[in-house]
């Protein structure tokens, strides 16, 4: 629950318990307002509360144009904040038995052979590979890395990832929008969260390693930074990359050759 509390919230009896609320937004209402200045809102994100505070302030101040703006922002924010809510039991319309909601892709006899040193094997179970998750907002991924294997810097535009170490040691980290690195060394049983849309990496230590990730999207999207920038089709003009990375044309060409094999 979200509670929006004005300076007149003391008129409530009993007053709300702050521990029960996920977020509080102060609404500066005119001094003529009374208990209407406290409004309980269920299941709204932070920005909805802020837009609603603008709307309430405008209504109480009789500022119609500002009130309409607040209402418009509230509606728009609600539209862009969430994926559509599923209106049926599940989204895989061709399902007929429990097998349609079963995946054995991570079973030991189904997994690819162990990769060599520096190599990696990824087994995604997104909606394309596992239709049973369609419409449910979840998916998963299995990792198998050789010694020193690397999942190169990448991000998921549509999902947060929680990573669980099954075996081996891992060096992991992500970079936030302020360019700060958050990194950790993980061992079997540890977990690490990669926030949605932030660049991150996973690297095996001095032995082979396995891990498992879950996502809050049926199709999280995977954008590999180096490949997307230097191996796009058609290519980003070399001059753009030279200026962006402060390198010469030969360096850009060599990186492209290395990435494109």
Binding annotation for oxalate:
156, 161
Unique residue bearing structure tokens 């500022």: 63
Sign of dihedral through CA atoms 20, 74, 159, 132?
A: positive
Task: Order across the sheet with 161-167: list the strands.
Answer: 120-125, 139-145, 209-215, 161-167, 191-194
DSSP 199-233: EEEEEE-SS-EEEEEEESSS----EEHHHHHHS-S
What contacts 50, CB < 8 A, 6 or more positions away?
25
Q: Which residues pair with 5 in a beta bridge?
A: 26
Binding-site residue ranges for Mn(2+) = 154, 156, 161, 200
Binding-site residue ranges = 154, 156, 161, 200
The helix/strand/coil state of 178 is: coil
> What does the DSSP 8-state code read for residue 237?
P
Q: How far is Cα 81 from Cα 128, in angstroms, rounded to an integer?
A: 24
Q: Which residues pair with 215 in a beta bridge?
A: 139, 161
The helix/strand/coil state of 193 is: strand
């Amino acid at each position: 629950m979200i509670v929006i509390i004005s300076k007149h919230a003391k008129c409530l009896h009993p007053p709300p318990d702050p521990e029960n609320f996920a977020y509080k937004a102060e609404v500066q209402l005119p001094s003529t307002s009374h208990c209407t200045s406290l409004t309980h809102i269920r299941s709204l994100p932070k920005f909805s509360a802020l837009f609603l505070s603008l709307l309430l302030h405008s209504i109480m101040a009789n500022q119609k144009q500002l009130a309409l703006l607040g209402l418009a922002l509230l509606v728009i924010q609600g539209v862009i904040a969430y994926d559509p809510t599923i209106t049926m039991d599940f989204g895989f319309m061709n399902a007929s038995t429990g097998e349609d909601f079963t995946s054995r892709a991570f079973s030991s006899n189904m997994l690819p052979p162990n990769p060599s040193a520096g190599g990696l094997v990824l087994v995604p179970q997104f909606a394309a590979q596992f239709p049973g998750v369609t419409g449910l907002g979840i998916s998963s991924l299995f990792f198998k890395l050789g010694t020193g294997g690397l999942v190169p810097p990448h991000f998921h535009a549509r999902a947060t990832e929680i990573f669980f170490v099954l075996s081996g040691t891992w060096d992991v980290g992500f970079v936030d929008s302020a360019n700060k690195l958050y990194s950790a060394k993980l061992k079997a049983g540890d977990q690490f969260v990669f926030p949605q849309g932030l660049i991150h990496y996973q690297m095996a230590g001095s032995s082979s390693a396995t891990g498992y990730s879950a996502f809050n999207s049926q199709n999280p999207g995977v954008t590999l930074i180096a490949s997307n920038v230097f191996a796009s089709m058609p290519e980003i003009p070399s001059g753009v990359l030279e200026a962006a990375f402060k390198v010469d044309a030969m360096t850009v060409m060599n990186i492209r050759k290395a990435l494109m094999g």
